[in-house]
Amino acid sequence: MKIITLLGSPRIKGNTAKILGKFEELAIAKGHKIDRINIVKYKLNGCLGCDKCKPVIDEPGCIQKDDMMLLFDRMIAADVIIYATPLYAWDFTAQMKTLIDRQYCLVKNYDTPAYKSFLKDKPVALLVTCGAAIENNADLIPVIFKRECNYTGSRVIGPYIAPCCTTPAAPGRWADETARKMADEILADI
Ligand SMILES: Cc1cc2nc3c(=O)[nH]c(=O)nc-3n(C[C@H](O)[C@H](O)[C@H](O)COP(=O)(O)O)c2cc1C
């Protein structure tokens, strides 16, 4: 299977990258192919909310000339998408939020019989690392993610949240366990 991994941290060697990297190693060992995207390396603008994409049905139809369509083409071609982000102010990083907002153009005729999504039925998973505990901290982000996936019609596996990952460079004692759990559950499900 082709697995696309989206790293939403500005620290491409940080805690989230370390756990995601362990998952990738486990997936490669099982014969899967990894396409890693470090989001911070791409030029990605925020959604303009112009709605020009909505009447365009057979392609995403976004009018912006940045790198987002390159990323979307790779996401659409993948069998699975992993969204990996550190928790920033109880939420996604700005980089990951930008990508999620822009997924707006991948959905057409939402909540009507003519509904169409370029991510429909795609298995997806969320990996979050955070400095503190999960409770009263990383409890909202999986809810938001699930709601977004309801919108895109994707099928959610997980979530996977590694607490006690301090900055800098301390992925915490749940790092290995989180990567292994991801591999066990995601690779068994696809
Ligand atoms: C701007 C900023 C905001 C953060 N907000 C939170 C937060 O709300 N809750 C939390 O537990 N950790 C928070 N953290 C800590 C990071 O989520 C945590 O250290 C994470 O593992 C960093 O991942 P990275 O090394 O991949 O960048 C924050 C860190 C930064 C830099």
The answer to whether the CB of 87 is under 6 A from ligand 1 is yes
Spell out where 11-145 has E strands: 33-38, 80-86, 107-108, 116-117, 123-129
Tell me the pLDDT tens digit for each residue of 64-119.
999 999 999 999 999 999 999 999 999 999 999 999 999 999 999 999 999 999 99
* Strand 123-129 versus strand 155-162 pairing type: parallel
CA 172 to ligand 1: nearest atom:
21
Which structural domains are found in the chain, ordered by start? 2-189 (3.40.50.360)
Choose one of 19, 167, 173 to mutate for the ligand 1 pocket test, by most ligand atoms within 8 angstroms of C-beta: 167
The answer to whether the CB of 190 is under 6 A from ligand 1 is no
Does 175 score more than 90 pLDDT?
no
Is-above-0.95 flag for pTM? yes
* Strand 80-86 versus strand 33-38 pairing type: unpaired
* Ligand 1 center to 11 CA (angstroms): 11
Helix (H) or strand (E) holding 179: helix 175-189
The answer to whether the CB of 38 is under 6 A from ligand 1 is no
The phi and psi torsions of 31 (rounded to 5 degrees) equal: 90, 10
Tell me the pLDDT tens digit for each residue of 1-24.
999 999 999 999 999 999 999 999
